[in-house]
């Protein structure tokens, strides 16, 4: 279940020495025949934008939305690295292009890892050559492993559409609060779609999935989601393609949440009854990012007071006498009165929690996927990471 389960795509993942741990750290995903195909991307809105993001945008603009390959490294974000970082990102594309026999503008580039350190280009160059030589129609799992940083497991997906397939790999375990994408993900499909249609489908697919995921309220410098479509399956209904892309992104987003740094809970927070969708999203995100609420989840404590407090402080239409809060089927607060369902303690021991807050103020709704805050998260992030 990976990118290479889609007909017409190859991949590889290798170890080249970027990571001091000696774990795999460089990957290539490419069309099997070396042809340029429709491509699209969504990227971080962080103004501290990493060099690979800038180069991806340049290349998609230069080709009118086409690409042959994506080269990715982990262990070093190539962010906040100045002119040298831009040169290194372009060199990664040039060397990948030379190894595959394509034009540099047909290669997209992604990096993830430590911010503010120059790429060890000797290692990167050797990795690109090794990956190009190792590329295979079975190489998706190796590519998924090679893009991991603090992830504990690879993230992969395949979605079977009606006569077409979407496959993907992703990485991400923290800093997952984008406006455009979430960490790194590469999707591929054999559906036929022109670049504009593909861009629209990707944006729509990301909107309700990656864009609803927050682990710690931090937005990365490198967030990127790319998709390549080789058209081997022929024309596809755009709505079907959008849905398949959304399904793939949803799976990858949940895999990220379940593997978030130190997390013991994945929480699906749904806010309904808001004055507008925008107000529902604001209340949901504020609550999901509240450290007090997150700590309660880690302690398996359904402490509704912290949730009610965040909803009331979110700057949205609010009346505590119309508020309802429930974990799963267990109502803990309704219309100004607390409740104490006896089955709730057992429910809170689960890995995944459904939290529903109805504000009783209108028809607005939103969903956020989030996690708890644990000692292990602090241990992971109290140094350079």
Active-site pick, 182, 197, 214, 374: 182
| Calpha distance 125→95 (Å, rounded) | 7
Q: Pairing mode, if any, of strands 352-358 and 266-274?
A: parallel
Distance CA 261, CA 189 (A): 30
- Whether 182 is a known active-site residue: answer yes
Q: Tokens 């997209």 appear where?
A: 108
Number of residues that make up the chain:
385
SS3 of the chain: CCHHHCCCEEEEEECCCCCCCCCCCEEEEEECCCCCEEEEEEECCCCCCCHHHHHHHHHHHHHCCEECEEEEEEEECCCCCHHHHHHHHHHHHHHHHHHHCCCHHHEEEEEEEECCCCCCHHHHHHHHHHHHHHCECCCHHHHHHHCCCCCCCCEEEEEECCCCEEEEEEECCCCECCCCCCCEEEEEECCECCHHHHHHHHHHHHHCCHHHECCCCCECCCCEEEEEECCCCCECCHHHHHHHHHHHHHHHHHHHHHCCCCCCCEEEEEEEEECCHHHHHHHHHHHHCCHHHHHHHHCCCCCHHHHHHHHHHCCCCCCHHHCEEEECCEEEEECCEECCCCCHHHHCCCCEEEEEEECCCCCEEEEEEEECCCHHHHHHHCCCC
Q: Which residues are catalytic?
A: 182
């Amino acid at each position: 279940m990976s990118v290479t389960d889609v007909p017409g795509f190859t991949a590889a993942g290798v170890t080249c020495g970027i990571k001091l741990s000696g774990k795999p750290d460089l990957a290539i995903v490419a069309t099997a025949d070396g042809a340029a195909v429709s491509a699209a991307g969504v990227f971080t809105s962080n103004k501290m934008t990493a060099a690979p993001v800038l180069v991806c945008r340049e290349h998609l603009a230069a080709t009118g939305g086409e690409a042959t390959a994506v080269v990715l490294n982990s262990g070093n974000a190539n962010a906040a690295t100045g002119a040298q970082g831009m040169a290194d990102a372009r060199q990664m594309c040039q060397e990948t292009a030379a190894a595959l026999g394509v034009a540099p503008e047909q290669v997209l580039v992604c990096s993830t890892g430590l911010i503010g350190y120059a790429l060890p280009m000797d290692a990167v160059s050797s990795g690109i050559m090794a990956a190009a030589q190792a590329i295979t129609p079975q190489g998706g799992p190796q590519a998924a492993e090679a893009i991991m940083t603090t992830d504990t497991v690879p993230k992969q997906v395949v979605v079977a559409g009606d006569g077409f397939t979407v496959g993907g790999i992703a990485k991400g375990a923290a800093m997952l609060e984008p406006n455009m994408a979430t960490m790194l993900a590469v999707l591929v499909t054999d559906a036929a779609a022109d670049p504009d249609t593909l861009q629209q489908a990707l944006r729509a697919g990301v909107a309700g999935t990656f864009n609803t995921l927050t682990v710690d309220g931090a937005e990365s410098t490198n967030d990127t989601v790319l998709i390549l479509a080789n058209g081997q399956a022929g024309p596809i209904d755009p709505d079907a393609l959008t849905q398949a892309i959304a399904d793939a992104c949803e799976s990858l987003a949940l895999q990220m949440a379940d593997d978030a740094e130190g997390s013991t809970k994945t929480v699906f927070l749904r806010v309904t009854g808001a004055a507008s969708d925008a107000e529902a999203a604001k209340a949901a995100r504020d609550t999901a990012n509240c450290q007090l609420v997150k700590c309660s989840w880690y302690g398996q404590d359904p402490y509704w007071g912290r949730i009610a407090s965040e909803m009331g402080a979110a700057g949205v239409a609010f009346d505590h006498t119309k508020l309802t809060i429930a974990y799963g089927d267990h109502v803990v607060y309704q219309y100004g009165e607390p409740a104490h369902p006896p089955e709730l303690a057992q429910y809170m021991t689960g890995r995944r929690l459904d939290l529903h807050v109805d504000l009783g103020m209108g028809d607005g709704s939103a969903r956020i996927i989030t996690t708890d805050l644990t000692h292990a998260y602090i241990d992971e992030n109290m140094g350079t990471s």
